[in-house]
């Protein structure tokens, strides 16, 4: 049984949905962050699937860009998280609702 494109897309959709739900229900900043990464990688999976399916490398190029952005975002995001933790001694996002330090 040869894997079909729709399988990959279904997997990607599942991963993306897990990421979305995770962002919605998790309060821990680190967990939310990981969920965001999960969504990005779900999208990456879609890109490579289509790339393979259409015999077109453009999708793979996009994956590189997404990975680069995700790396930069991880660096910045983790920096912010550390800054918040140092000030608040907490990683609960619902505590950070005052929009200031």
Partner 1 sequence: MNTTHLLSLIIFAPLFGAAVNWLVGRRLRNERFIGIIACASVGISTILGFYFAFKPDGALRSTAPVMDHLWTWIQVGTFRADFGLAMDRLSGIYVLFITFVGFLIHVFATGYMHGDPGYYRFFAYLNLFMFAMLTLVLGDNFLLMFVGWEGVGLCSYLLIGYYLDKEEAAPAAKKAFIANRVGDWGFVMGILLLFWMTSGAGAPSISFFDKPGLTSALATVAKMPVDAFAWHTIFAGGITSIAVLLFIGATGKSAQIPLFVWLPDAMAGPTPVSALIHAATMVTAGVYMVVRCSAIFTHAPTAMFIVAIIGAATALFAATIGLAQNDIKKVLAYSTISQLGYMFLACGVGAFIAAIFHVMTHAFFKAQLFLGSGSVIHGMHHEQDMRRMGNLRKYLPVTWLTMCAGWLAICGVPIWAGFFSKDEILWRVWVGGSSLPAGAAKALWFIGIVTALLTAIYMTRLMVMTFWGSERFGQAHDAHAESHADDHHAVTPHESPLSMTVPLIVLAILSTVGGLVGVPYAISSITGGHPENYFEQTLAPVVSSLPAVNNPEVTGSSNLHLLSPAPQPTDGKPAIAPVGEAPGAATAHETPSPQELNEERLLALVSVLIALSGIGAGWFMFQRQPVRTMPQLLENKYYVDEIYDAAIIQPIKVGSREGLWKIFDVGVIDGIIHTIGGAVVKFGRTIRYMQIGFVRAYAAIILAGALIIIGYFAYTGAHVLRYFVR
Residues of this chain that interact with partner 1 (CB under 8 A) are 5-6, 20, 23-24, 27, 32, 93-94, 96-99
- The per-residue DSSP string of 21-42 comes to HHHHH--BHHHHHHHHHHHHHH
The SS3 call for residue 10 is helix
Torsion of CA 18, 62, 60, 58, to 10 degrees: 130
* C-beta of 5 vs 83, nearer to partner 1: 5
Q: What is the nearest approach in angstroms of partner 1 to the Cβ of residue 93?
A: 4
* C-beta of 17 vs 68, nearer to partner 1: 17
CA 27 to chain centre: 16
Q: What is the nearest approach in angstroms of partner 1 to the Cβ of residue 71?
A: 22
Overall size of the chain counted in residues: 101
Q: What is the nearest approach in angstroms of partner 1 to the Cβ of residue 49?
A: 11
* C-beta of 64 vs 87, nearer to partner 1: 87
């Amino acid at each position: 049984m040869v894997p079909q494109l729709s399988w990959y897309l279904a997997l990607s959709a599942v991963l993306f949905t897990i990421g979305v739900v995770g962002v919605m229900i998790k309060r821990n900043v680190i967990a939310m962050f990981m969920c965001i990464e999960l969504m990005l990688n779900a999208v990456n999976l879609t890109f490579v699937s289509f790339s393979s399916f259409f015999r077109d490398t453009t999708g793979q190029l996009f994956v590189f860009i997404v990975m680069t952005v995700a790396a930069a975002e991880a660096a910045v995001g983790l920096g912010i998280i550390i800054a918040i933790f140092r000030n608040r001694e907490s990683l609960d996002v619902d505590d950070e609702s005052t929009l200031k330090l």
